[in-house]
Chains A and B, each alone.
Chain A
Amino acid sequence: MDLNESAEEQAFRLEVRAFVRDQLPVEIRDKVLKFQHLEKSDYVTWHRILGARGWGAPTWPKEYGGTGWSGVQRVIFEQECMEAGAPRLLAAVNMIGPILMRYGTPEQQAYFLPKTRDMDIVWCQGYSEPGAGSDLASLRTRAERQGDHYVVNGQKIWTSLSLWADWVFALVRTSSEGKPQEGISFLLIDLNTPGITRRPIRMINGSMEFTEVFFDNVNVPASNLVHEKNKGWSVAKHLLVHERSAQADIGLCKRMLRRLKEVATTCLKRGRPLIEDQRFRDQVVRVEMDLLAHEWTLLRVLSMIANKRDPGPETFVLKLGATAIVQKASELLMECAGPDALPYVAEALHEGWQGDLPNALEIHTLAANYFDWRRISIYGGTSEVTKGIMSKMILGL
């Protein structure tokens, strides 16, 4: 056992930290830290800064123009970026990249990978449907083969940021024979194809990042099929297994906790910082302790990955752990604001707002942020679905 970070790991961490500190534009960082909404240009700007340093595709191997980093390095990178207030990488890089490398044809790889890495193509993910949420395999968007193309009809929902995207990678039904999982294919669709309509959904926090996408007789070249017909389910599953340690969201958890402590120090109760109030402080302490446990569970997982062992139950524990920490921290952040959590000022969620409310501007995003984070126990498989998988796979119940 060696319970200290190795010298190389530490050096890498400091290198990433220094880079983010020096290169992340302040206005982007401030928006992230204050829970304001980001524009597409914010994501692209940050992505290009990373690209210039050769870090545009952190999860990709070197031969595809990636970094070739180890699993441990990838987590350190993600953690340092998120903690410092960098935007998330868009679905492009971490998700579709590894899929194309594993299952794409040489032509698909040659066309999409460089453009994806350089953000010349922005992707969104088309999985969920109105009738296929937790039960994803029941999806009904049809793709029928006609000559050298597929004709797609149906509807996707919760497609994040589709209005900014150029392409969607989608799960579509190509057969109704056998088990529902066995009739699903993985298709790449150009969003500028006639017959596609995108519509934003207004969420409870006021954001418009989620959308519905409608497909009405959309022609997609058959060459855009990834892997074999009716094998799309295994393509999607490969990614889930592959990137589970990323669900630890350790950087996000740390950023939320640090923000919580900052805000609880600025907000006053009877003239004293709120953090000195015993009732409030105890709650912050609990979140911080849970975060320590969470961080060490992640370290255990990374140690397994480094030793080429398949991480076990700990990876699911990471997903549930991150969920609990982020939701509790966002709740306490809102409570910091006290009565100032009441006014809803949509403009406060955007950069540069100079409103006329008495207290600090950033207070007015905390309630919306709280509502926003309810989603972490829903997306990527609800907590209940996760527990169902755990009790089957780990406990054998």
Chain B
Amino acid sequence: MDFNLSEEQLMLADTVQRFVEQEYEFEERKKLARTDRGYSELHWQTLSDIGLTGLLVPESFGGMGAGPQEALIVMEALGRGLVLEPLLSTAFVAVPLIARHGNKAQQQLLLPDIAQGRLRLAIASLEPEARFDLWQVATEARPQEGGRYLLQGRKTVVIQGDSAQQLIVSARTSGNSSDKDGITLFLVDAKAMGVTVKGFPNIDGHHSAEIFLNNVAVDGSAVLGEVGRGYEPLEWATDRGIAALCAEAVGTMAKLFDLTVEYLRTRKQFGQPIGRFQVLQHRATDMLVAVEQARSIALLAAARVDNPDPGSRRKAVSAAKSVVGRNGRFIGEQSIQLHGGMGMTDELAAGHYFKRLNCIDMTWGDSSHHQELYGDVM
């Protein structure tokens, strides 16, 4: 075991950290979050230029060919700055999915454009009745003549769905609405006839979309992977995204913790810094333990997310998501409390970090959902 970063990894961490320090001044970020788009095209291009959209894209398609460890390094650094650009779905879920399960033509068509920052994707997997269950798919894909399909259904809270030009849609080609078999993944143009995308901002400033599919016609070439066997690739790619999201949460928690400790050192009441009070000191050390726990378990997720043993992967990823969700909320709640009245204001950064941590818990399975998944394979 060696947790030291390699030369290349150190450079990567350094580059992303510099981007956050230079471009993500908190007041600017707050303004950016309130724009219609919710992020900056300029930042997006910068992130692409420093190699992040193509981080996981194989070198043969113009990317950096990196893996879950590099994803962890990048996302942790972005998490510290509450970066808004919609990298997660494209760079950390769609890319691995296409690189592993797409055919040559799809890879050639999509991956170089992603690496160049010209193409964004979103994963349209969850549905109104499904809560966090990826296998609950009622959206239908009815086979037509000439190998075509007609898609009919509704996808809900599609993360970063309103900025994507292409969607990866899970739809049912056979079986009942809660079968893991019979799910097929389709590449769908967000502007195709019959697709309606209703974007909205989340409480943390990131964006999601409701997506309506009304008799959307797609070619057979739009099938990503095998017909009827889309569930496992979807689950794995989502796990890749979850591992990256856990790393983002670690960065967010660590920064929020730093802000809180700084406040304890400087805020004075009763003639002394409030950090002198033992009851607050102990609360702060509980937060420290929670950050370190989250950091450890996010490393575990990065280490095991590609493990060929599905039980080992499930445990690692679900444990990470569950612990990160629980600890993230704990740190958020404590930091608001320790900031007192100021913590409740929109002016201070603390509340914005708290909201992001809360939204991370609610993305791709909350703490109890992953506790349940873990219990199923324990």
Contacts and interface: CB of A to CB of B under 8 A. Distances in A.
Contact of B282 (A278, A286, A384): A384
Interface in B336-378: 368, 371-372, 374-375, 378
B300 interface: yes
B150 interface: no
B1 A289 contact: no
A96 B146 CA distance: 82
Nearest to B2: A2
Contacts of A391: 275, 281-282, 284-285
A6 interface: yes
Dominant SS among interface residues on chain B: helix
B1 A285 contact: no
B322 interface: yes
A303 B296 contact: no
Interface stretch (A150-158, A170-178, A180-188, A291-299): A291-299
Contacts of A286: 371
Contacts of A321: 289, 293
B217 interface: no
Dominant SS among interface residues on chain A: helix
Given A4-B1, A293-B319, A396-B265, A388 B278 contact: yes
Interface stretch (A197-205, A225-233, A312-320): A312-320
B282 A300 contact: no
A303 B296 CA distance: 13
B4 interface: yes
Given A1-B9, A4-B303, A292 B69 contact: no
Contact of B1 (A282, A294, A302): A302
A320 B291 CA distance: 13
Interface centre among A5, A320, A387 (most CB of B within 10 A): A387
Contacts of B4: 1, 303, 307
Interface in A267-295: 278, 281-282, 284-286, 288-290, 292-295
A317 B293 contact: yes
Contact of B323 (A2, A289, A307, A320): A289
Contact of B3 (A282, A285, A300, A397): A300
Interface in B264-289: 264-265, 273, 275-276, 278, 280-282, 284-286, 288-289
A345 interface: no
Interface of A: 1-6, 9, 261, 278, 281-282, 284-286, 288-290, 292-297, 299-300, 302-304, 306-307, 313-314, 316-317, 320-321, 384, 386-388, 390-391, 394-397
Interface of B: 1-6, 9, 69, 261, 264-265, 273, 275-276, 278, 280-282, 284-286, 288-289, 292-297, 299-300, 302-303, 315-316, 319, 322-323, 368, 371-372, 374-375, 378
